[in-house]
Structure 1
Amino acid sequence: MSLHLRKPSFVLISGLLLSLAFTAISLISYYVANQSLNQHITTNTLPLTSDTIYSEVQRDLLQPVLVSSLMAQDTFVHDWIEEGEQNPEQMQRYLKAIQQRYDAFTAFFVSEYTHKYYHSTGILKQVSDTLPADRWYFHSRKAPEEFNINLDLDTANTSITTLFVNHKVTDEQGKLLGIIGVGLASTTIKELIETYQSRYGRQVYFIDAQGKVTMQGSQFSGASDIHEVKGLQNIAPEILSSPEGSYTYTNDNQTYLIKTRFIPELSWYLIVQHTEQSEARITTTLWINLTISLAVIIIVLLLQHFTLGGYQRRLEYMANTDPLTGASSRHAFEMLFQQILNFAKRQKHPVSTILVDIDHFKTFNDNYGHLLGDTILTNVAKVLTQNLRQADTLCRWGGDEFFIVLPNCHQSNALLIAEKMRQEIEESLQVINDQQLHVTASFGVAEYSNDETTVSLFNRTDLALYRAKSKNRNQVEVATESAFKTV
């Protein structure tokens, strides 16, 4: 709840402070001379533009980095590698799903054992340290950091330059298993450059650590290397040795103001360049920039608001929901469980609980693989959900266990619900993916007593489940009062 309150307050205060500060500075600057206006651009407007563009680039890089990190920690990836990279189609489908889910330009995995380059379209090749196009892999595997970013031609489509996030995949002992990641089309960054050049009327481009231009807009008319630009070549060593700075240079009787900032994720420098105007044009442009800049501030704040909201909702969903079954996560459920019991105690309402365990689930995993095991979990969760009310809560408690809380429900009704669930699982999950599995589940049912804790209620439900499993499974058992008294 506090996050929802802080975010609008932060955006509102930031907007008010930026608007007041920018308006005050612009109005004061209107009454000063030509040099003061240029100084204002150098110390305020130009750094603000540079910082805004830098923030946008960082934001665009955040998602592919996060996605690559999740891929590197995915249990499917680890299991598939440890099983000897059998069924390459599984990895192909996985990469294609990642590519579609996160709207990535490409997704890939290169195995340390086989050196095969897996792609969403299939196995493209085997990387070799003798090929220049594959040097990125051998550089990434030797790098000390978990991930690195490089700009290169896409192996699947050599006509498109792609920004790759290369993330190491390691086992529990830290042994390298391969490199996995996603690619972001360079056109995304070029579109960002075009947007800000149009909005601010300034030239924006990127250079590498040697001073060569690596990314620019369609209207860029400069040289391909800053060492080839008269005036700029004199300050090039200082630019390339400083993480950020403000500089002035003259070329053909025209003065330029530039703001530089190093982007460590890309090993590039962001260059924002402003051309000094005559006094008359600066005075006219001042009012135009005032209007445009205020509009940009509003747009940036709106983007900030919606971006923070989107990431917040995504993070909350990831934290509160089991990604496989869609049930509540155990962390989020434990707090909700206590709230439900507190409310029931105050209102004298009944609350019942059901603990579900899939019978012989480990055997299914061992005999048919974890993917089929995941399918069983998903189907069981679907059956359980279909038999619940909107007020009921389903939680994935453990690997193959589900815990259900039924507010305003007596034990007798909970018993009927559990029995219906048990029958539907037994009848509907006999065949999965053309495999005769005969999936069943055991159930433990208990009703909350106003004198017990959440731990006590869960233990009684667990004991009921234990009796059901002891009686050859595939049945429902009800908790006893004696079990409660001994807890």
Structure 2
Amino acid sequence: MTAFRTLHRSILLLFLVVVIAIVTLVHFSVSKIVAEQSRAQQQSMSPAIALIVEELLKPLHISEALGRSQELVTLLEQPKPDSEDVFAMLERLEQQFNLVFFVASEKDRMQYMSDGTVIPLIEGQVSWYFKYRDQPENAVADIGKWEDTHFYIDIKIFDDEGEFLGFFGVGKSLKSFLQIFNTYKQQYGYDFIFVDDKSDIMLSSEATLMAEYSDFTNLSELPWYASLPEDVKAERALNNRLITIDQQEYLIAEVSLNQFDWTVFLLSPLDKRQTDISQGFIVSVVTLLVVVFSLFMMINHLLAYFRRDIHRDIVIPPAPRLPDRAQVEDNYNNVLKAYHSLSVVLVDIDNFAVINDTYGRATGDEVHQHIVTYLQKALRNKDVLGRWSSEEFIILLPETGPHEAQQIAEALRKGMQDLPPIDKALQLKLTATFGLSYTATSRPMHEVTSYAEDALYQARRDGCNLVRMQLIN
């Protein structure tokens, strides 16, 4: 609850800063026309900000979050990772996030791609691995796979002792970027140029500027850039500068992407009416863009920070509310496909109806949330918790045999009966009854849960606060 209060106050503070910035800029606008055009300009730039965050920062956050997965660290700690496990994980992630994934192992010097290919990491033949391995940065953006050029984000993976284990990364085809940029250009008229610290063009809305077979176009090769004053080129200070390309005037907005050590140039075409706008109006528009973009990134990072603390499960992130039966069935199919075996546990809160009738629905809701919080903390990262009915939960335990599942259920049962009361004045003693089953083959969920329900009914008949198991014949 403290974390949510802190998040709420931080967002309110950022919102206040945004309001003050907009009011100040409007106050210094030269006229009502300038203010109206400023708002129109800002509305057209907002999609550009959203596009950069969606296409670049989101994959970065995904790769950073997944890079902390214990499943990934465990795979890379092996002298020779099991290729079936690696490909199963990569295929699952590709289907979930619609991105290309790869793992590069330091121990066996092999790179595993989500499309099923394996690339030996031989020094002198694969340059990127050895180049970035020895650099201090833990996250690197690069262009590669030249037969179908891709943009990659490479994340270094370390074990608990800080030993380098290899790389984990995500990739997107440059063709997809071109399609997205082209759609945006047709709708809003803006061109993008993403430049690294060496002035090489990494991404662009202009297809002829994209790299091919490690041949990058440098910013200095562009005619409009070559025509700029030497001091401007030396400092690469292009923000708010007007340029001419093919007899068309453009305004450049410059934004730094510190995560990649890149600079983004947004080239905005200006018609005659826009070119007559005063310099003060141009400064106001670009300043507003930079302020909103910076605050958008701050909010995005702030939400990502709290998401790391609140969302424990990386493989199947929990929703704000527990998954319902339909969602659980989707998770069941995904887990069974990824792990090939699982145990299903049904949990029934003992005397929940009596608690509701005696103490009211508000207390019942508190009891329900109290147990949900306990189960979420007690379960493993790969386990899935869902809602089965108003007083029942379902737990999916991937790669867990029936005897191990019974031990887990017994530990949960004991832990639940030892929970502190939600209200010392009420002194409610909470217990639950558990029924479980197991499958090592591809069966429909309803078939496995029917056996778990039979086991749950048996535990109720035997007195509740018990664990019973019924296996499929």
Letter in 1 for 2:347: L
Letter in 2 for 1:215: L
Matched, 1:150 2:138: no
Letter in 2 for 1:96: E
| SS of structure 2 residue aligned to 1:148 | strand
Q: How does 1:82-481 map to 2 (within 5 A)?
A: 82-104=77-99, 106-131=100-125, 134-153=126-145, 158-159=147-148, 161-218=149-206, 225-230=218-223, 232-233=225-226, 234-235=228-229, 238-239=232-233, 241-242=235-236, 245-249=239-243, 257-274=251-268, 277-278=271-272, 319=310, 375-376=342-343, 379-380=344-345, 383-384=346-347, 391=365, 392=368, 393-394=371-372, 395-396=374-375, 397-398=377-378, 437=403, 439-440=405-406, 441-442=409-410, 443-444=413-414, 445=417
Distance change >3 Å, CA 320–CA 112, structure 1 → 2: closer
Distance change >3 Å, CA 173–CA 313, structure 1 → 2: closer
Q: How many residues align?
A: 374
**1:164: how far off?**
0.9
Q: Deviations over 1:60-99 (max 9, x none)?
A: 3232222222332211122223344453111111111112
Q: Deviations over 1:376-419 (max 9, x none)?
A: 5xx33xx126987884323234467x9x9xxxxxxxxx9xx9xx
Give 2:58's match in structure 1, choosing from 40, 63, 68. Answer: 63
- Counterpart-to-counterpart distance in 1, 2:314 and 2:421: 33
How does the TM-score come out when normalised to structure 2?
Answer: 0.57
The 8 Å contact of residues 146 and 168 in structure 1, kept in 2 or not, is answered as: yes
Matched, 1:25 2:29: yes
Distance change >3 Å, CA 99–CA 240, structure 1 → 2: farther
Letter in 2 for 1:25: S
Distance change >3 Å, CA 308–CA 268, structure 1 → 2: closer
**1:148: how far off?**
0.9
Letter in 2 for 1:100: Q
Q: Percent identity?
A: 15
| SS of structure 2 residue aligned to 1:25 | coil
**1:58: how far off?**
4.0
Letter in 2 for 1:122: G
Letter in 1 for 2:52: V
| SS of structure 1 residue aligned to 2:107 | coil
- Counterpart-to-counterpart distance in 1, 2:317 and 2:274: 60
Q: Deviations over 1:258-308 (max 9, x none)?
A: 343443444443223355654x6857x99xx99xx9xx99xx99xx79x97
The 8 Å contact of residues 244 and 261 in structure 1, kept in 2 or not, is answered as: no
- Counterpart-to-counterpart distance in 2, 1:206 and 1:451: 57
- Counterpart-to-counterpart distance in 2, 1:231 and 1:448: 70
| SS of structure 1 residue aligned to 2:151 | strand
| SS of structure 2 residue aligned to 1:128 | coil
Letter in 1 for 2:84: E
- Counterpart-to-counterpart distance in 1, 2:14 and 2:349: 41
The 8 Å contact of residues 152 and 169 in structure 2, kept in 1 or not, is answered as: yes
- Counterpart-to-counterpart distance in 2, 1:210 and 1:192: 25
- Counterpart-to-counterpart distance in 1, 2:135 and 2:46: 29
Distance change >3 Å, CA 244–CA 172, structure 1 → 2: farther
Distance change >3 Å, CA 145–CA 232, structure 1 → 2: closer
- Counterpart-to-counterpart distance in 2, 1:51 and 1:252: 26
Which of the two has higher C-alpha Rg?
1
Stretch moving more, 210-219 or 385-394: 385-394
The 8 Å contact of residues 67 and 181 in structure 1, kept in 2 or not, is answered as: no
- Counterpart-to-counterpart distance in 1, 2:175 and 2:189: 20
- Counterpart-to-counterpart distance in 2, 1:265 and 1:212: 17
Letter in 2 for 1:146: N
Q: Give unmatched runs, 5+ long, in structure 2.
A: 211-215, 322-338, 354-363, 386-390, 432-458, 466-473
- Counterpart-to-counterpart distance in 2, 1:321 and 1:477: 30
The Cα RMSD (Å) is 6.0
- Counterpart-to-counterpart distance in 2, 1:60 and 1:385: 44
Distance change >3 Å, CA 216–CA 149, structure 1 → 2: closer
**1:198: how far off?**
3.7
The 8 Å contact of residues 140 and 147 in structure 1, kept in 2 or not, is answered as: no
The 8 Å contact of residues 92 and 120 in structure 1, kept in 2 or not, is answered as: yes
Matched, 1:80 2:75: yes
Q: Deviations over 1:146-192 (max 9, x none)?
A: 111112227xxx32x22211111111121111111111333454355
- Counterpart-to-counterpart distance in 2, 1:51 and 1:187: 23
- Counterpart-to-counterpart distance in 1, 2:75 and 2:123: 25
Counterpart position of 1:341 = none
- Counterpart-to-counterpart distance in 1, 2:419 and 2:196: 67
The 8 Å contact of residues 109 and 181 in structure 1, kept in 2 or not, is answered as: yes
Letter in 2 for 1:129: E
- Counterpart-to-counterpart distance in 1, 2:188 and 2:421: 67
Distance change >3 Å, CA 434–CA 259, structure 1 → 2: closer
| SS of structure 2 residue aligned to 1:180 | strand
- Counterpart-to-counterpart distance in 1, 2:114 and 2:245: 49
